[in-house]
Structures are given as C-alpha cells and as structure tokens.
C-alpha cells in the first residue's frame, strides 16, 4: 500500500513531479504516481481515486487546475494542490486551486513547489501516526 498518491494533470508537469518525488524518496516513503486529468480522463480519475488506499493525495496541475478540487470532491482524505507555472506564471492554477467552495477544502502550496507538498504530506502522515 502506498501512503501517498501523486497525480499530475499531464506528463508535461514532470519537473514539478520530480521535485515532489525527490522529497518522498529522501524520506523513504512509498507513493503511487499517476498522470490523470480531470478534464481529459474523468472516468479513469474517478476510478483511481475511489479505489486508492493512499492516505494523502498530492495533485499537480497547471492552467485551469480543476484536478485537486475534483479529487477532493471524490475523497474524504486530505488533498494538497500544487499549482504549476505556465503562460500566466501559475497564478491561474493557484487561484483555481485555492478558490474551493466551503466544505471541499484543498490545501495549496506555492507555485511549482512540489517539494513543499511532499513535506506537508509527510507531516500529515506523521501526526496521524502512520510513519
């Protein structure tokens, strides 16, 4: 069982995914990584989230970053969003991720800061007594 699921909206988010994975590897924590877009693969994303036994989701997405919010709508587990920079510098993804309606929270780290998403996920697992 992987404690953490990392989902990116596209293979083009690779650099930010690598920063995330590097921290988890250093901490010796298992993760599962999938490329699944809420926009492009809604059914596969739904199936993956519902069948995952991970305790924390890290969702990495640029542009109109629906991915973290959609994942949060499908699970009661904590979701951390990572906005990825693009033509608008990542402010588009940042605002998409933080502006969630009440009751469907997504934690959000800084633009391109996949490393902090991993550090935060590790802290969540630690206080939950899972490490």
- Please state the φ and ψ torsions of residue 14, each to the nearest 5 degrees: -50, -45
Q: Is 37 in the site for ligand C2R (CB under 6 A)?
A: yes
Binding mask 6-35 for ligand C2R (x = CB under 6 A): --xxx-xx----------------------
Binding ligand C2R (rule: CB under 6 A), the pick from 29, 65, 108, 111 is 65
Binding mask 72-91 for ligand C2R (x = CB under 6 A): ------------x-------
CA–CA gap between residue 104 and residue 1 (Å, rounded): 25
Give one DSSP letter per residue of 41-58, joined into a string: -HHHHHHHHHH---SEEE
Q: How many residues interact with ligand C2R (rule CB under 6 A)? A: 17
Q: Is 95 in the site for ligand C2R (CB under 6 A)?
A: no
CA–CA gap between residue 71 and residue 29 (Å, rounded): 21
């Amino acid at each position: 069982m992987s404690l953490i699921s990392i989902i990116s909206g596209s293979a083009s988010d690779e650099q930010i995914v690598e920063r995330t994975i590097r921290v988890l590897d250093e901490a010796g924590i298992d993760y599962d990584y999938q490329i699944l877009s809420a926009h492009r693969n809604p059914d596969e994303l739904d199936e993956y989230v519902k069948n995952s036994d991970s305790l924390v989701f890290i969702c990495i997405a640029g542009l109109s970053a629906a991915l973290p919010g959609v994942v949060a709508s499908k699970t009661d587990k904590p979701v951390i969003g990572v906005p990825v920079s693009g033509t608008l510098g990542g402010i588009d993804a940042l605002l998409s991720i933080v502006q969630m309606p009440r009751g469907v929270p997504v934690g959000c780290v800084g633009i391109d800061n996949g490393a902090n998403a991993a550090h935060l996920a590790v802290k969540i697992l630690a206080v939950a007594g899972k490490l």
